Chains A and B, each alone.
Chain A
C-alpha cells in the first residue's frame, strides 16, 4: 500500500491543477474573509461579538468548498479523460487499492491546505475586526470545523469523480450536491421538509463550520451525516469501479 501512496503523491504534486485549485480555495477564503471583515468593521457601531466575528472572517467557505471539490474530482477523472487510468490499473490491478491510495494522499494534502486556509483567514479577519480569539467558546471548533468541512467537500468531489469518471459530469454533480440542491431543500414545506433539509449533504456538514447552531443537527452529528453521504457515494463508486471495464 505504501508503494501506491508514494506513487499517488508523485502524481498529485507533479501536475499544475493541484496548485491551481488549492491556491484558488485559499484565495477565496482569504479574499472574501478580508472583504467581509472590512465591510463589517466599517458599518459596525460598537465592538463585534466573538461569535459573529468568527463567522464573518470565514464566510468564503462555500466558494472554497467548490475549488477543493473540483480538485477531488480531478484526482480521479483526469486519468479517465486522458486514458492514463489504464496505465494506472496495469500498475495496480487491484483497483480499490489504487482508489484508496488516491484517497489517502488527497485527504492528507487537502486537510493540510484547508486547515492552513481556515486558520490564516481567521487570524487575518480578527486582525481587522478585533473580535474573537481561539479561546472563546466554540471558536476553535468553528475554525477547525471549517478546515474539516472543506476537506470533506474535496472527498465528496473525489467520490463523485470515481462514480461518474468524467470531469464535467463530476464537477457539475459536485456543484449540484454541495451548493445548489442544499438551497433548494430549504423550500421544502413542513416538518418533513425541514428534516430533509437539515440532513441534506452540505447543510448537515457545514454545521461544524458555523459558530452557532442553525439546524436540528449538532455540529459534529451534522458532520457525521455529511461523511455518511460521502461514504455511500464512495461505496457505490467502488462497486462500479470493480465491475466496469477500464
Chain B
C-alpha cells in the first residue's frame, strides 16, 4: 500500500502560494528524497502530511487515511521536523516517556530507542544541554518510539558534523531496507544522491520531477565528451555532430575513442578529450534554476 499519497495538495498564505497542486506518492521499502531549494515548500508539505497545517486545497493521506484520523499515529508514522523544538528542562527519558504514553506505547521502548540512537548514557540528562547532533538523535529516537512503517525527516543532516551525517545516512538506508517508507527532505542534491532511491523534486511549491535517481540524471542532462584542440575548427568540421563553443567542442553522439580515432587519422592534435558525466547536483541546478525563489 502507498505510504503517503498527496493529491493536488495546495497551501496558500494570503496571496503567497507555498505549495501548488502537488501530487506524489511515497512507497514503502525505499528512501524517497524530497528535494527543492530553500523556501520551495518542503516543510509546509511535511506539516500538511502530519496534520499540523491545514491544506487550502487537495488532500494528503497516510496509509489511506488523513493523519488526524489515526488513533495512535506514532505507531504508524514517526517524524522529525525540528530537533530543537523540545522543552530543554526535561530529561531525554521523560521527554520520550511523555510521547510514548500519549500513544499507549510501553515505557520499555524508551530505553530501547535511546540505545538504538546511542543516547542511553545521557537518558537522565536535561535536553537543554544537548548538542545539535544529540538533539537530532533524540528526535530520531522519538520518531522510532512506535516502531512505525512510515518515517518522515525534515532536513535531518542540517548542521551536523561528517560523523553525524554518515550515521543518519546509514540509518535511513537501514530503515528502508527493513521495508519502511522513508521520506526525507533536503535542499542538497549531493546528500540525496548518497541516500535516496527515488526523488520528488519541487520548486516554488510545484512538482518538478517525481522519478528514480538514475532516471533523474539521465532525463535532465546527458553525458557528453569535451574536446579541446589548438585546431578546434578543423576538429569540429571533422566530427560533424559536435556543438562548437569558443574554447571547446561538446559531443554527445560519439564516444571519446571514436573521436580520438577520427582525429588521429586526420593528424589533428588534441589538448583534451574528456567524458563529462553530469553530477546529480548539475541536474538539479538545471531543473530548479527557473524556480529559485531568490535567484541572483
Name A's B-contacting residues (CB within 8 A).
Answer: 3-4, 6-8, 10-11, 14-17, 78-79, 82-84, 86-94, 243, 245-246
Q: Which residues of B, 11-47, contact A by the 8 Å Cβ criterion?
A: 47
- What A residues does B81 contact at CB under 8 A? 86
List 23 A-B residue pairs with CB atoms under 8 Å apart, sorted by A's residue number. Answer: A3-B104, A4-B102, A7-B99, A7-B100, A14-B94, A14-B98, A83-B84, A83-B86, A84-B86, A86-B52, A86-B81, A86-B82, A86-B85, A87-B85, A88-B102, A89-B50, A89-B51, A90-B52, A91-B102, A91-B103, A93-B67, A245-B47, A245-B54
- Does any Cβ of A come within 8 Å of B68's Cβ? yes
Q: Is the CB of A83 within 8 A of B101?
A: no
**Distance from A210 Cβ to chain B, minimum over Cβ atoms (Å):** 37
CA distance A3 to B53 in the complex (A): 24
Interface centre among A11, A87, A94 (most CB of B within 10 A): A87
Q: Which residues of B, 72-90, contact A by the 8 Å Cβ criterion?
A: 73-74, 77, 79, 81-82, 84-90
CB 8 Å contact bits of B90-120 with A (1 = contact, 0 = none): 1100110111111110000000000000000
Q: Is the CB of A10 within 8 A of B68?
A: no
CA distance A86 to B80 in the complex (A): 10
Q: Is the CB of B74 within 8 A of A90?
A: yes
- Does any Cβ of A come within 8 Å of B199's Cβ? no
Q: Is the CB of B85 within 8 A of A83?
A: yes
Interface centre among A7, A8, A78, A90 (most CB of B within 10 A): A90
- Does any Cβ of A come within 8 Å of B4's Cβ? no
Q: Is the CB of B52 within 8 A of A82?
A: no
- What A residues does B253 contact at CB under 8 A? none
How many interface contacts (CB-CB < 8 Å) are there between A and B?
87
Q: Is the CB of B85 within 8 A of A10?
A: no
- What A residues does B232 contact at CB under 8 A? none
- Does any Cβ of A come within 8 Å of B70's Cβ? yes
Q: Is the CB of B98 within 8 A of A90?
A: no
Q: Is the CB of B142 within 8 A of A87?
A: yes
Considering the complex, give the chain B residue whose CB is closest to the CB of A78.
Answer: B87
Considering the complex, give the chain A residue whose CB is closest to the CB of B104.
Answer: A3
* CB contact under 8 A between A90 and B89, given known A3-B104, A10-B101: no
Q: Is the CB of B94 within 8 A of A10?
A: yes
Q: Contacts A90-B77, A246-B52 known; list 4 others, CB within 8 Å.
A: A3-B102, A6-B101, A7-B100, A87-B99
- What B residues does A246 contact at CB under 8 A? 47, 52-53
- What B residues does A16 contact at CB under 8 A? 89
CA distance A202 to B47 in the complex (A): 40
Q: Is the CB of A245 within 8 A of B74?
A: no
CA distance A243 to B88 in the complex (A): 28
